[in-house]
Amino acid sequence: MRYRMIGQRGKEIAIGRAVLVFLLLWWPLGGHSASGETFPFDLPVPGLKVVRTVSGDEAISAINKLHGLALDVVRGVIVHYEGATDAHDKATIWASEARSERQAEEQMHVMMDKMKGNTRSPFKGYRPAKFKDVQAIRFEGLGQAHCVFQKGNWVYWISAQEQGIDGIVSHLCGQP
């Protein structure tokens, strides 16, 4: 019994140290949620409220499940929103950080090529879009508008209602 308690205390100390290191390394970056998680963008999006955030291993696992394979990513975040005045107005931001800008660009292009080449894909209407200095790809499917782009080491996929997607992407790209 005594050894179990020492083991448990050791786990608590290790977890505490890991949390401290995480906070010291990631605190200055991106947006922050109320729970202290960090994101590569500011969480508040005009007209939307955050419903749920997913980060860390849980986000990476969800991103890998979505792709059906393990991507080489450093971090992942998923933020679910709903309209501030209309709960039916839903949006989701999926973001994954690659090890380099070049790898992020390659991951985005491979993903888009596979989607466009899949005759059973629920997505259609692929077209280029530009937000500030960011090249993006817009398309529709599954009852929403979608936009995929790469900014630095991050690859983003935004799903939202047609009338709100440009505002969300502009927010992420730093446009007013």
Shared domain check, 17 and 49: no
Same domain for 92 and 154, yes or no, is yes
Residues 11 and 53 occupy one common structural domain: no
The encoded tokens of residue 32 equal 């922050």
Are 12 and 55 a contacting pair, CB within 8 Å?
no
**From CA 55, how far away is CA 50, in angstroms rounded?**
14
Q: What is the rounded distance in angstroms from the CA atom of residue 114 to the CA atom of residue 84?
A: 35
Q: Residue 11 sits in which domain range?
A: 1-29
Per-residue pLDDT of the chain (176 residues; tens, 9 = 90+): 444 444 544 444 333 333 322 322 333 333 434 445 578 898 999 999 999 999 999 999 999 888 777 788 999 999 999 998 888 899 999 999 999 999 999 999 999 999 999 999 999 999 999 998 999 999 999 999 999 999 999 999 999 999 999 999 999 998 65
CA distances from 2 to 6, 12, 15 (A): 6, 16, 20
Number of domains in the chain: 2
pTM of the predicted model as reported, rounded to 2 decimal places: 0.77
Residues 102 and 133 in one domain: yes
In sequence order, the β-bridge partners of residue 4 are: none
- The CATH number that applies at residue 127 is 3.40.1000.20
Rg (CA), the chain: 18
